[in-house]
Amino acid sequence: MQVPAQVEYEKAASVEHALTLLARYGSAARVLAGGHSLIPMMKLRLAQPEVLIDINAITDLCYINLTGAQLRIGTLTRHAQLLDSQLIGEHFAILHDAERVIADPIVRNWGTVGGSLCQADPSEDLSAAFAALKGTMVIHGPDGSREVSAREFHTGPYETVVGPAELLTEITLPIRPGGGSGYQKVSRRTGDWPVGAAGAAIWLSGDVIADAGIGLTAVGATHFAAAEAEEYLRGKIATEETLARAGEIAAENCRPASDQRGPADYKRHLASELTTRALRLAVARARGQAT
Amino acid sequence: MKVTVTVNGSEYSRDVEPRLLLIHLLRDELGLTGSHWGCDTSNCGACVVWLDETPVKSCTVLAVMADGRRVLTVEGLGSGAALDPVQQGFAECHGLQCGFCTPGMMLTARWLLDRSPDPSPAEVREAISGQICRCTGYENIVRAVLWAAKNGGGR
Amino acid sequence: MGCEERRRPVTDHEIAAHGTGPYGAIPRKEDARFVRGQGTFVDDISLPGMLHGAILRSPLAHARIVSVDVTAALAHPKVEAVLTGADLAERGLAWMPTLSADVQAVLATDKVRFQGQEVAFVVAQDRYAARDALELIVVDYEPLPPVVDALTALAEDAPLVRDDLENRTDNHIFDWSAGDKAATDEVFAAADVTVGCDMIYPRSHPAPLETCGIIAACDAVTGRLTLWSTSQAPHAHRTLYALITGLPEHKIRIVSPDLGGGFGSKVPVYPGYLCAIAAAMLTGRPVKWVEDRSENLMSTTFARDYHMHGEIAATADGRILGLRARVLADHGAFNATAQPTKYPAGFFHIFTGSYDLQAAFCEVTGVYTNKAPGGVAYSCSFRITEAVYLVERLVDMLARRLGMDPAELRMRNLLRPEQFPYTCPTGWQYDSGDYLRALALAMDIAGYPELRREQAQRRARGEYMGIGISFFTEGVGAGPRTHMDILGLGMADGADLRVHPTGKVVLGISVQTQGQGHETTFAQIVAHELGLTPDDVEVVHGDTDRTPFGLGTYGSRSTPVSGAAAVLAARKVRDRARLVAAAMLELSPDDLEWLDGKWRVRGDPERAAGIAEIAMAAHSALELPAGVEGHLDASAVYNPPNLTFPFGAYICVTDVDPATGEVKVRRFIAVDDCGVRINPMIVEGQVHRGLADGIGMALMQAIVFDEAGNCLGGSFMDYLLPTALECPSPELGATVTPSPHHPIGAKGIGESATVGSPPAVVNSVVDALAPFGVEHADMPLTPAMVWRAIQGRPLRSDLALG
């Protein structure tokens, strides 16, 4: 088995402590949460940080709380905890759909939500899911905290707005009436990265789509979102025709790349097909016709 | 740096490099070779052990992350000469052939039965879906876990 | 449906009873240590003073080596030695013979010829330091254009891979053919219907869960070299090492401890093994080298990589007349396929399959490319996987062309029982078979007519399910020594039986289990012959000091060859015991008959002696007749008169989502006939695995290369293997048609399901896609491949997409 290069190690006892360490080491340091994105990269020597800042002791960052009309997820929450959470299942079925198809049950025990989002793989399922839900990222730094939309969080493959002296601490999701959500993924085998995946969140007002959120991953969608398709849907009635059209628009606006998972034309087709399927599921759930 | 881990109920302290993987601490430092490794990319699960209460892929955890925690390996299954029902099930149902994936499979099975004492075959398959077996085609592994569930599976 | 409900019990009339006794589904003796985590695999072993090796591998597929600078690596405080190709060349070790009369570089000297080829070997105090030191070695490469696509390997301007070989001007390795070309051409010319197709059996890899490795330890005082090694053929390795290193063979001991799977990948001698041996000699300390997974996938023997064109000829009413095939075989950079010497394409010419044909002809051309060497591995029974895939796909395509049900077409053409022993048009003599019964049983278990009705109903609703059949005949148990040798070593295997005075038995065998349960099944074989229980028999294997010579385990040969040797040795013991029993009872040997596990007096069966008492007597002061030696030990070398021919009928049911291309395997029915079944539980376990292999190869496994020769299958993230979620609960059945020439009628089972299952899955998916006009689609049928096939724009599965 391949093994990491030499590295130094610090253990952070609190968010403040973590920020102090990050300030000291700067870009020579990487945050170590579950490590299930970082450690594999270190073993292959694709990442060679000089210092690891282990934040696993900051149990304060592990929570799923309902506060008024907001659901707040601490970034150290393990994937398995998100999947097990009744609160999440009740309000954001898309996250359960997505977690069920992320990696495998053992990896989900240790990998964290924050870790996956900060790894920023262009095929990351949670990035699409949170984009669909229009979540907000809370980032702590030396000057306090700031908020960034989930749709502005990623700046490129493996790049986010989190600076070298900052820590992603929370994702907040607004709970709005009439909502339903769902996730659809195609992969070559269970646990594989998606060939293409789509997440949709719909908020109905009567029969009308008051708002829509569509997240796409692995297909080169800007900021993991299908903004044009969302725009199209707003104010429309959810029918087979409008959902299919939304899928087409989503596909028109992404830029998939060919790789071993599939050629670009197939991925573009998936963007359309899966967007429509995710929307269908979201609408059915919003109408109380599906679980 | 110094790391202190309780493995199968016994406490061990070792001076290790921060980069040392937990699987290597267990195998090379502590001589507990029952847990194996089989890949470079956290896909195969031959290295599954329990870290505190949950199975993890110990090739993807640093030994220093286990400092102050408890680890359970296959050597800690069962007590004394008595086999855990999961171990019995694997022997009874031909749930192993070469035995390389077996420790990891059994530790996941043990965890599953602790949480879900009467799982369906589909639940068993889902639980082991992150672990590869090249010999059995999985059928007898599933039968072994179901056997354990019916034959004193609870601890 | 739960697995209990789905699983049909095998009924009595379907399995020939072969008496009471130790045959049967007994639990395995070896499990006691494995369930406790007390197996001993190579990487579990640690010796005092042991050092760790690591290999620096080429990042390029084809390049000249300008220079190798190891100064910085040697300066690393934990590094003890570094070997380069030049160092090995000084000792005559830079090149080693392959199992196919070629040579392979141990450490590259002039050029690197595949990505991942071995360039340098570092020896350090621990495995982490060894890995660090690799990065300190500086190699200057001059890149060369690579040959990646086998179809271009023989082009005029193709780069030359093997310029190390004298007088070589192209990448052609061999041409080989079998069958009667003229007769076949005639048959095709006159046939009502012919169907042809190009199909790839993509490069895959056996990927046992334990990678390859070795510990080499030299004793300077005794001159002994001891190796703990992942070897499926330890004796053959010992002989090879003796020939390569010049060390006297009796000073070499190889111990194959527990192996974590093999599937053919642990048959060859790999460069890393020789490097470890050289390093142990150089440093005077034990050296361990265990490869990581990427090394395993990129450099150890791959499997398949056959580019095939097949044709089938038939009458209008569905009588199959002939088969024709042309194959381009990609052998990688060195010809290192492991098969009997006279068969460069292995047993591919059994592509005549299970049918009554008038004529057949095949030709195979082997070529070099800039990829890892290998080709014969992964339970292929020496290319029978390729052969069966071709014929079973062609039969299905013929059925489609004729508008005939594929089961019906097979029923019309399968060999009849009265035709056995049957000599096929390419010369194989199939020993026994009852094919129609097996297919009928499979169809019965599957509920075939209901499945076809369901398929029709679903199609009307726009849902797509497929039903795929595969009927295969295997040829295993290589083999008759005058026809079959590997590197000049005839494929006969030995067995040694020692009987202790208290009647306990130790059986030494030459084959090497990697999970197949030999410690149990061989004990059952001997116990059955000697009226003992399996617990009375200890099976010893894997240690060349303690076991007789043989060619090892692969090609499902353990039961057919070593099993037979064990039977013969046991019968020698039994015959000897008769003479001793006669002396004990003061009778003539003719007065005794073997009945119910003892030598009994004819007409007075209560007067009897079992092996235990006879053993004590044989060691005692009892006076023995002239010519009868004391003790009861015996040994035998079994030279099989022929291969054995297991067969089976498989049916695979899939559901395909045409909008995404996703395939779900719903059901897998498998009826196998491996002759007499010593331990049905173990037999079924072998079948379970092969079915999973079929799902994997048909739907997701392939080692793919890009234009630059980069291997894109170097990890389990890219080379995908099936999990428990992709494999349905198999539904098994069995028939028993004993082999007439095997001492206990057993045929071997280890590879059957890997051979028979991929065509069942592919046939199923293509059947599902019939409404879209898809006639063939290459493996692996990933969602993208399926979707593209539906669009009529198929993808080539062996080259990079991006």
Q: Tens digits of per-residue pLDDT, A2-25?
A: 999 999 999 999 999 999 999 999
Contact assignment for C37 to B133 by CB distance below 8 Å = no
- CB-nearest to C784 from A190, A193, A263 is A263
Name chain A contacts of B106, Cβ cutoff 8 Å.
Answer: none
Contact residues, C window 92-131, toward B, CB-based 8 Å cutoff: 127-128
- What average pLDDT score do residues B27-52 get? 98
DSSP secondary-structure letter at A190? T
Average confidence score pLDDT of chain C: 94
- For residue C13, the model assigns a pLDDT of 33
pLDDT in tens, C86-100: 999 999 999 999 989
Number of A:C CB contacts under 8 A? 66
Q: In b/e form, how buried is each residue of C191-205, taking b as 16+ CB within 10 angstroms? A: bebbbeeebbbbbbb
Q: % helix / strand / coil in chain B, to the nearest 5?
A: 40, 15, 45
- N- to C-terminal Cα distance for chain A? 42
Three-state secondary structure call for residue C178:
strand
| Shortest CA distance from B105: residue in chain C | C35
Q: What is the pLDDT of residue C115?
A: 98
Q: Report the distance separating Cα A182 and Cα A94, nearest Å.
A: 4
Q: Is C703 exposed, middle or buried (0-12, 13-18, 19+ CB in 10 A)?
A: buried
**C48 close contact with B: CB closer than 8 A:** no
How large is the average pLDDT for residues A228-243?
98
Quote the CA–CA distance of C436 and C704 in Å, as a whole number: 39
Amino acid at C390: L
Per-residue pLDDT at B153 exceeds 90:
no
Q: Report the C-alpha gap between C491 and C486 in whole angstroms.
A: 7
Residue C3 predicted with pLDDT over 80 = no
**With bands split at pLDDT 50, 70 and 90, how would you rate the model's confidence at C715?**
very high
Which top CATH class is B2-76? alpha beta
| Identity at C456, one-letter amino acid code | A
Cβ pair B132:C211 closer than 8 A = no
Interface with chain A: mutation pick from C787, C788, C793, C795, highest number of A CBs within 10 Å: C787
User: Is residue C189 pLDDT above 50, yes or no?
Assistant: yes
A74-88, C17-31, C557-571, C757-771: range with lowest mean pLDDT: C17-31
Per residue in A114-170, pLDDT (tens digit) is: 999 999 999 999 999 999 999 999 999 999 999 999 999 999 999 999 999 999 999
Q: Is the pLDDT of residue C662 over 70?
A: yes
Stretch A79-103: mean pLDDT, rounded?
98
Cα atoms in the 13 Å half-sphere on the side-chain side of C583: 23
Residue with tokens 């699987």: B23
Between chains, do A42 and B131 touch, taking CB under 8 Å as contact? no
Query: Given this model, what pLDDT does residue C21 score?
Result: 52
- pLDDT at position C9 is 37
Distance from C-alpha of C737 to C-alpha of C673, rounded to nearest angstrom: 7
- The DSSP secondary structure of C734-762, one letter per residue, reads E-----TTSTT-B---TTHHHHHHHHHHH
Q: What is the model's pLDDT at position B154? A: 59
**Do C377 and C302 contact (CB within 8 A), yes or no?**
yes
Q: Contact partners of B by the rule of 3+ C-beta pairs under 8 A?
A: A, C
pLDDT above 90 for A183: yes
For the record, the structure tokens of C455 come out as 């398929």
Contact C787 A266 (CB under 8 A): yes
Chain A residues with CB under 8 Å of B57 CB are: 36, 106-107, 110
> Is ipTM over 0.95?
yes
The residues near A67 (Cβ < 8 Å, ≥ 6 apart) are: none
Domain residue spans in chain B?
Answer: 2-76, 85-153
**Contact: B60, A40; criterion CB under 8 Å:** yes
Look at C802 and A192 and tell me if their CB atoms are within 8 Å: no
**Could you tell me how many residues make up chain A?**
291
Retrieve residue C508's tokens. 């030494």
With an 8 Å Cβ cutoff, is A257 touching chain C?
yes
Task: Provide the pLDDT confidence category of residue B155 given band limits of 50, 70 and 90.
Answer: low
Beta strand spans in C614-695 (E): 634-638, 647-657, 662-673
Least confident of C153-157, C443-447, C518-522, C780-784: C518-522
* CB neighbourhood size of C783 (10 A): 25
CB of C262 less than 8 A from some CB of A: no
Q: Which residues of B touch A40 (CB under 8 A)?
A: 40-42, 60
Q: Which of B17, B98, B141 sits opposite C260 (nearest CB)?
A: B98
pLDDT confidence tier of residue C16, bands split at 50, 70 and 90: very low
Evaluate whether A73 touches A162 at the Cβ level (below 8 Å). no
> How many Å apart are CA B151 and CA B113, to the nearest integer?
11
CB C104 within 8 A of CB C373: yes
Which residues of chain C does B137 touch, with a Cβ-Cβ cutoff of 8 Å?
Answer: 685, 687-693, 727, 730
- C481: nearest Cα among C621, C684, C640: C640
Nearest Cα neighbor of C501 from C598, C630, C631, C622 is C631
Q: How far, in Å, are B133, C259, C574, C607 from residue C593 at the CA level?
A: 47, 42, 11, 11
Instruction: Please name which of C638, C683, C639, C671 lies closest in space to residue C760, comparing C-alpha atoms.
Output: C671
pLDDT band at C20 (very low <50, low <70, confident <90, very high): very low
A270 at C interface, C-beta within 8 A: yes
Measured between beta carbons, the chain C residues lying within 8 angstroms of A5 are 132
In whole angstroms, give the CA distance from residue C360 to residue C313: 10
- Residue C317 CA to chain centroid, in angstroms? 38
Q: Do C716 and B142 touch (CB under 8 A)?
A: no
Distance from CA of A8 to the nearest CA of B (A): 6
C721 vs B: CB within 8 A? yes
C131 touches chain A (CB under 8 A): yes
- C557-581 pLDDT, tens per residue? 888 888 999 999 999 999 999 999 9
The whole-number average pLDDT for the span C33-61 is 98
Among B38, B61, B127, the residue with its CB nearest the CB of A35 is: B61
CA distance linking residue C170 with residue A34, whole number of Å: 53
Q: Which of C136, C115, C132, C114 is nearest to C124 (CA)?
A: C132
The reply to whether C52 touches chain B by the CB within 8 Å rule is no
Are A259 and C661 a contacting pair at CB < 8 A? no
Could you tell me the two tokens for C331?
């052998």
CB C765 within 8 A of CB C656: yes
pLDDT tens-digit readout, C477-499: 988 988 888 888 888 888 999 99
CA distances from C249 to C236, C238, C496, C544, C552 (A): 11, 7, 20, 11, 17
Predicted confidence band at C11 (pLDDT cuts at 50, 70, 90)? very low
pLDDT of B149 strictly over 90: yes
DSSP result, chain A: ---PPP-EEEE-SSHHHHHHHHHHHGGGEEEESS-TTHHHHHHTTS---SEEEE-TT-GGG--EEEETTEEEEETT-BHHHHHH-HHHHHH-HHHHHHHHTSS-HHHHHH-BHHHHHHHT-TT-HHHHHHHHTT-EEEEEETTEEEEEEGGGSEEETTEES--TT-EEEEEEEE--TTEEEEEEEE-SSTTSPPSEEEEEEEEEETTEEEEEEEEEESS--GGGB-HHHHHHHTTSB--HHHHHHHHHHHHHT-----BTTB-HHHHHHHHHHHHHHHHHHHHHHHTTS--
A176-204 mean pLDDT: 97
- CA nearest neighbour of B140 among C730, C513, C664: C730
Contacts of C561 (CB under 8 A, 6+ apart): C477, C478, C491, C492, C493, C511, C550, C638, C640
**Mind listing the domains of chain A with CATH numbers?**
8-54 (3.30.43.10), 59-174 (3.30.465.10), 179-286 (3.30.390.50)
Q: Which two tokens stand for residue C206?
A: 């056996």
Q: How far is B65 from chain A (nearest CA, A)?
A: 8
With an 8 Å Cβ cutoff, is C412 touching chain A?
no
Of the candidates C660, C700, C784, the beta carbon closest to that of A189 is on: C700
Three-state secondary-structure class, residue C91: coil
Beta bridge partners of C469: C651
Structure tokens at C644: 């054995």
Q: Is the pLDDT of residue C609 over 70?
A: yes
Beta-carbon pairs below 8 A across chains B and C: 182
pLDDT of residue B41: 97
CATH 1.10.150.120 fits B85-153, yes or no: yes
Q: Please list, in sequence order, all residues whose beta carbon lies within 8 angstroms of the beta carbon of residue C96, skipping any fewer than 6 positions away.
A: C103, C104, C106, C244, C269, C271, C274
Q: Decide if C293 and B121 are in contact by the 8 Å CB cutoff.
A: no
Name the burial class of residue A50, with classes exposed (0-12), middle (13-18) and buried (19+) by CB atoms within 10 angstroms of its CB. Answer: middle
The dihedral region occupied by C678, where left means phi > 0, alpha psi between -120 and 50, and beta the remainder, is: alpha
Q: How many CA atoms lie within 13 A of C746 on its CB side?
A: 29
Structure tokens at C613: 């008492």
Of the listed ranges B109-123, B137-151, C470-484, the one predicted with least confidence: C470-484
Which residue from A3, A6, A186 is facing C660, i.e. has the nearest CB? A186
Q: How far is Cα B45 from Cα B38, in angstroms, rounded to an integer?
A: 8
Selecting from B33, B94, B103 the residue whose C-beta is nearest the C-beta of C681 gives: B94
Is the per-residue pLDDT at C15 higher than 70? no
Q: Is C93 exposed, middle or buried (0-12, 13-18, 19+ CB in 10 A)?
A: buried
Residue A39 C-alpha, separation from nearest chain B C-alpha, in angstroms? 6
Using CA coordinates, name the residue in chain B closest to A106. Answer: B56
Model pLDDT, residue B152? 85
Domains B2-76 and B85-153 share a fold: no
Query: What percentage of chain C reaches a pLDDT higher than 70?
Result: 97
